[in-house]
Amino acid sequence: MLDEAKRRRKAAKIIAVLAHFLGRDPGSDGDRSSVLDGLTVADIGCSAGFIADELASAGARCALGVDIDVPGLRKAADRFGDRVEFVCADGSALPFADGSIDVLVFNHIYEHVVDPDAIVAEMHRVLADDGVLYLGLGNRLGVMEPHYKLPFLSYLPPSLADRYVRMFGRADQYYERYRTRPGLRRMLGDFHVWDYSFPVLASPERFAGGELFAGAAGRAAQGTLARTPRVALRALLPVVPTYLWIATKTPRRPLGPRLARPPEPVRTP
């Protein structure tokens, strides 16, 4: 969370996905400064504020960073307080009016919180009727657990997972709680959802994800993904490590240009 360069790369990917869905393509020069022009944007679980700062740089009329980490928020405000308003609040009790936020970002947070369903319900409440929610969601069935780099860790029941992380000296206890794809669909049950996972992987240059495919082997993997039949990709969905989803309260479709691997609907209420 404190790796600034990595967090800013993630922010570039988030903004690129939002740009495509909203039909606000930054253009051939890659200038993202007007992608969120005129919108109120909130990063839920903002930590050190790097992503919130990038959202402000993308033209947000009002950029908000929300977290419960008071020392972290103070440091973030010291650096970015001139462009971002940082708010200390529990995600299950957001201090915003109904329908007041145009864009919400909830990036790799749900597995760390006590009640992700309550936070999702709150985000549904504060999101505007024509608003957009960006979600980065880890998958319980992803083979390599991303925080501790231990295979199959998230597959285990809590007691065995605790023993596993202690055995390798990674932590005293495994706190993260992931869900499978069906569980995530249920968590987003009140939203209409589009899946950008494969579009981002197949078109990293468009979605600021070039670091996902490094070197010749990576480019070969990218080409293979772009050519893989849709039915085969769907078979892989249950074990994709991370899902990149866009959720809306009312039915909406991506407005960006057609992609080699287009986003697909995940569910509708």
Residue 250: DSSP 8-state: S
Bridge partners of 155, per DSSP, are none
Out of 3.40.50.150, 3.40.640.10, 3.40.50.12280, 3.40.50.620, the CATH code matching 4-140+178-267 is 3.40.50.150
- Residue 145 sits at the vertex; the CA angle it makes with 204 and 118, to the nearest 5 degrees, is 90
Look at residue 237 in the predicted model and tell me its pLDDT. Answer: 87
Measured distance CA(47)–CA(74) in Å, rounded: 10
Residue recorded with tokens 């109904």: 98
**What residues of the chain score a pLDDT lower than 70?**
1-2, 27-30, 209-226
Q: Where are the domains of the chain?
A: 4-140+178-267
SS3 content of the chain, % helix, strand, coil (to 5): 40, 20, 40
- Residue type present at position 95: P
- Chain-centroid distance of CA 156 in Å reads 24
| Cα-based angle 249, 253, 257 (whole degrees, multiple of 5) | 145
- Residue 42 host element (H or E): strand 40-44
**pLDDT digits 0-9 by tens, 97-116:** 999 999 999 999 999 999 99
